[in-house]
Amino acid sequence: MNVQASRPRRLESYVCGSWIAGAKEGVPLLDASTGAPVAFIDSSGIDFASTLAYGREKAGPALRRMSFHERAAMLKALGLALMERKEEFYALSAATGATRADSWVDIDGGIGTLLSYASKGRRELPNTRVLVDGDVETLARDGTFAARHILSPLQGVAVHINAFNFPCWGMLEKLAPTLLAGMPAIVKPASQTAYLTELVVRRMVETGILPEGAVQLISGSVGDLLDHVDGQDVVTFTGSASTGRKLKSHPAVIGNSVRFTMEADSLNASVLGLDAGPGTEEFDLFVKEVAREMTSKAGQKCTAIRRVIAPRVHCDALVAALGERLGKTVLGNPADETVRMGPLASLDQRTEVRERIRDLLADAEIVAGDPDTPRIVSGDAEAGAFLNPVLLYCDRPWEAKAVHDVEAFGPVSTVMPYDTAGEAVDLTRRGKGSLVASVFTNDPAFAEEVVLGMAPFHGRVLIGNRASAKTSTGHGSPLPGLVHGGPGRAGGGEELGGMRGVKHYMQRTAVQGSPTMLSAVTGRWVADSEARSGGEHPFRKSLAELRIGDQLVTASRTVTLEDIEHFANFTGDTFYAHMDEEAAKANPFFDGRVAHGYLIVSFAAGLFVDPAPGPVLANYGVDNLRFLTPVNPGDTLKVQLTCKEINPRADAEHGEVRWDCRVTNQNGVAVAQYDVLTMVAKTRS
């Protein structure tokens, strides 16, 4: 089906394995520039309880059977398949009012987030079905009782209720961590732009890459769906604070302690440094950034700069520079290539933004941009939702309320003055918690004071200056590896943040028991649990033959003074503790000359390595290296090496093996402890 060429059509929902249209014709969704109908939306007739049950029963078990690496490979395949089809998404995206650059953030940004989670999942998560969280907690002196936290996927469905401004990214940034965690999802896009989400989901389903039911779509209202959520489900919400509060206090959400993540209004601020007056690079960068944040997506970004906080002495120059830059913004139909800013998503949205500008006028005056008569180069002035960028100035922000409270979700920002760094921080805090703030300064002391002052009130803080001018990703861009969400008014939620985001869809459980039981449950060898030694050297075993708990106990080796001197002269490390008996004795930690830590590690390798070619391909590092007890000449070392974790790579002929390595002296006291990381072939050659 060629969706973009077709006439306005009834959007369908994808539930319980089928695409179905609502029982009624539905509400028309209009092109933001021309007012022409794009689609009709309605979800009446859907059995929402069955939709939830289908996700839980059909897709949940299938996703949980997969390992993290298999799910990561699935996300990669899905991302690549969507990338191939992206021009179709771009064509439809124009109807939402998005320019090509706006759509890039939504479409390439969304697919890029899927791909980023695919690669991070592959690199940062083990190839298992359960995650461990933190170290083993020893609970008995004799080592017979311990505990470890594990994370396992929740067994419900994640209901993602999304905003109208990012119909593609808004869906994919939530789906990527959800699916990687092993949880199915129901996507409910905002109606206004749901036609783009519907197209992307249609293409996702067609690929057949996801287990059936892993993603379901509701085009239209969610009806009584929330009445049926329970404690294994998750609800995420992006949109207005009023709807968010309503859903968060839904009886089933409260009654069943359903995890609820909210991302709502946010009065994001950007601060111009006291050092960054006109003529500095930071001033120019600031002007560019504020103008870009006001006009990209026509200011309909949850991260857009709403409050511009500038030194009082520079406010006039700033307003003049911003006014000039905003005045050059070419406004019109995004289908027209010369256009730099498109319309708002709908006429209702424009009415809403104009009303909010009126609210802001209680505290501020308009200093650039006419909110009533849009200057457009293309599109329909009557039926299109165009609005000029509007800059306001509030001279007394300490006495003002509206400028810190009212979110005009469009190309609207308010400049306000400050005199000291402390005042700048206080003004940002008056937003009562925001998604992001930024500060433009070339003064590290100013950056430190302002960033540390703002941090508890923000989920992300960006520092802009000349050094990162070319590489900075900018104030308004959430990134897959960084947390997105803010405290207080911003909703109190947290999304993305790399693997942190995956854990929101998993349950953390403290598991207590004997070390052998903990090893069995977690799939990772735990100290003091049973091990098998004495057979074939574990380095002779391929990945297919190796088992967690396979152990080597080596022969011993005595460290001599000649060894220490040889190592010192050979490497050039002649630190006094190895070379000078008197000086070493004066050191509070040593009782005379000691062996180098790296000599101990090297001798340990000499003791445990099996030299002949075999399945072990390479040693790619050590983790958590600690030297625990000094080694003096005459001490005798021995190594216990135990296979701790095995991670076969899905897409290669080898995998990673983590070995627990403990080096002890002649008294059985640990002198060094670390994890040895190796690559091992899946089969013997």
| C-alpha distance from residue 117 to each of 14, 68, 84 (Å) | 24, 11, 18
The CB-of-487 to ligand NDP minimum distance in angstroms stands at 14
Are 672 and 597 within 8 A, CB to CB? yes
Rounded Cα distance, 262 and 161, in Å: 10
The CB-of-676 to ligand NDP minimum distance in angstroms stands at 46
Cβ proximity to ligand NDP, 67 vs 296, nearer residue: 296
Cβ proximity to ligand NDP, 264 vs 631, nearer residue: 264
Catalytic residue among 173, 198, 263, 407: 263
Rounded Cα distance, 313 and 564, in Å: 66
- DSSP-derived secondary structure for 3-37: TTTSPSEE-EEEETTEEEE-SS--EEEE-TTT--E
Cβ proximity to ligand NDP, 484 vs 662, nearer residue: 484
Residue 143 Rama label (left phi>0; alpha psi -120 to 50; beta): left
Active-site residue, 302 included:
yes
The CB-of-153 to ligand NDP minimum distance in angstroms stands at 25
CA dihedral of 606, 608, 613, 615, whole degrees rounded to 10: -150
Write out the residues near ligand NDP by the rule CB under 6 A.
Answer: 161-165, 188, 190-192, 221-222, 238-240, 243, 247, 263-266, 302, 352, 407, 409
The CB-of-122 to ligand NDP minimum distance in angstroms stands at 30
Identify the helix (H) or strand (E) that includes residue 142.
none
Are 238 and 163 within 8 A, CB to CB? yes
CB-side exposure of 615: number of CA atoms within 13 Å?
20
> Among candidates 67, 71, 181, which has minimal Cα distance to 129?
67
> Among candidates 462, 476, 322, 326, which has minimal Cα distance to 389?
326
Catalytic residue among 168, 302, 315, 394: 302
Identify the helix (H) or strand (E) that includes residue 352.
helix 347-360
Rounded to a whole number, what is the distance in angstroms from the first to the last CA of the chain?
50
Rounded Cα distance, 291 and 299, in Å: 10
Cβ proximity to ligand NDP, 239 vs 515, nearer residue: 239
Instruction: Scan for tokens 């009082």, then name that residue.
Output: 312
**What's phi and psi for 245, nearest 5 deg?**
-65, -40
Which residue, judged by CB position, is nearest to ligand NDP in the bound state? 239
Rounded Cα distance, 580 and 526, in Å: 40
The CB-of-267 to ligand NDP minimum distance in angstroms stands at 10
Supply 642's token pair: 């135990």
The CB-of-629 to ligand NDP minimum distance in angstroms stands at 55
* Partners of 418 in the β-ladder: 311
Cβ proximity to ligand NDP, 138 vs 221, nearer residue: 221
Instruction: Scan for tokens 């007890």, then name that residue.
Output: 629
Rounded Cα distance, 32 and 450, in Å: 39
The CB-of-485 to ligand NDP minimum distance in angstroms stands at 10
The CB-of-493 to ligand NDP minimum distance in angstroms stands at 10
Are 495 and 483 within 8 A, CB to CB? yes
131-138 and 37-41 strand pairing:
unpaired
Instruction: Scan for tokens 């941090």, then name that residue.
Output: 455
**What's phi and psi for 227, nearest 5 deg?**
-65, -20
Cβ proximity to ligand NDP, 79 vs 410, nearer residue: 410
The CB-of-434 to ligand NDP minimum distance in angstroms stands at 10
Strand order in the sheet with 654-664: 532-533, 550-558, 636-648, 654-664, 670-681, 616-627
Residue 651 three-state SS:
coil
The CB-of-206 to ligand NDP minimum distance in angstroms stands at 24
The CB-of-240 to ligand NDP minimum distance in angstroms stands at 3
Strands (E), 31-169: 37-41, 131-138, 146-153, 158-161
Cβ proximity to ligand NDP, 247 vs 679, nearer residue: 247
Cβ proximity to ligand NDP, 219 vs 529, nearer residue: 219
Cβ-based neighbour number of residue 91 at 10 Å: 17
Rounded Cα distance, 76 and 69, in Å: 10
| C-alpha distance from residue 543 to each of 434, 447, 536, 571, 574 (Å) | 49, 50, 14, 35, 41
- State the catalytic residues: 263, 302
